[in-house]
Amino acid sequence: MIPIGDNVAREHYPFVTYALIGLNVWFFSIELGQGPAIERFIAAWGVVPARIMLWHQVPWVLITILTGMFLHAGWLHIIGNMIFLGVFGRSVEDDMGHGRFLFLYLAAGIVATVVQVAAAPASTVPELGASGAIAGALGAYLLLFPRAKVFILIPLLIFFPVLVFPAWFVLIWWFLIQLVSGLHDLGSIQSATGGVAYWAHVGGFIFGLAFAWPLSRGRPHRIRYYDPVHGLAHLGGGSGGGSTPAPL
């Protein structure tokens, strides 16, 4: 299931969302440029939980909490993350404004890393990726735009149908998968030797939920959703305008 767009009518250009996508792609290109030294590069700049637990001995390792958010494990990893950031981040940024959205993204990424380190403190495998920060945007989106519609591409061999789902269903389903998977891996060998950082996703998502309304600008107008067939429709609360349809 690949999200390719939503129907939220935005009013502002998502500078921060696109800048973050650009930064992630740029850092990924630096990774690829390391050649045979890429594993050493990732080990140096990714988050190693066991090393973070000894931060009081080597304080500089805390910088990896930030650098690890911009590193990725491969093409599928970064493409998937950037698709989710592009689809959901734009609308959250439109609601919060550029500065508050950037704070949400970075803070959610930090919280997600701390949660993942707490879940597997003895792991010596570098953790990397923007998914914890993006999960924060997903949690905020759920609270701010629960009635939005999300367009989902379903790859089926030679067919690629696009289905429409309520945002609340897509995001709650995604969160439950992360939570159940995290509970399954908790304390397992896999959690200490690599795999998906499910607890980072859970931590980032809950942070986004918790801080969506405090960071929201509380738009005085009514949130408007775009219907590709019938145009703009008022489905949110409040009173007033918004007019730019959200492209897929």
Please say whether the beta carbons of 112 and 204 come within 8 A: yes
Specify the pLDDT at position 61.
92
The contacts of residue 228 (CB under 8 Å, 6+ apart) are 7
Map out the domains of the chain with their CATH numbers. 2-234 (1.20.1540.10)
* pLDDT on residue 219: 58
Residue 157: what pLDDT? 75
**Predicted local distance difference test score (pLDDT) of residue 102:** 98
| Beta-strand pair 162-166/224-227 | unpaired
Chain-centre distance for alpha carbon 203: 11
Residues 6+ positions from 162 with CB-CB distance below 8 Å: 4, 151, 152, 153, 154
Annotate 65-108 with DSSP letters as a single string: HHHGGG--SSHHHHHHHHHHHHHHHHHHHHHH-HHHHHHHHHHH
**b/e sequence 198-237, b meaning 16+ C-beta within 10 Å:** bbbbbbbbbbbbbbbeebbeebeeebbbbeeeeebeebbe
DSSP 3-state of 222: coil
d(CA 64, CA 86): 24
Name 112's Cβ contacts closer than 8 Å, sequence gap at least 6: 131, 132, 133, 135, 136, 197, 199, 200, 201, 203, 204, 207
Per-residue pLDDT of the chain (248 residues; tens, 9 = 90+): 789 999 888 888 999 999 999 999 999 999 999 999 999 999 999 999 999 999 889 899 999 999 999 999 999 999 999 999 999 999 999 999 999 999 999 999 999 999 999 998 989 999 999 999 999 999 999 999 998 999 998 888 777 888 899 999 999 999 999 999 988 877 654 445 556 889 999 999 999 999 999 999 865 444 666 655 444 444 454 333 333 333 33
At residue 243, the pLDDT reads 37
pLDDT the model gives residue 106: 97
Cα-atom radius of gyration of the chain, to the nearest Å? 19
Q: Rounded to two decimals, what is the model's pTM?
A: 0.85
Q: Give me the pLDDT at residue 226, please.
A: 62
Q: 74-110 burial, b for 16+ CB within 10 Å, e for fewer?
A: eeebbebbbbbbbbbbbbbbbbbebebbbebbebbbb
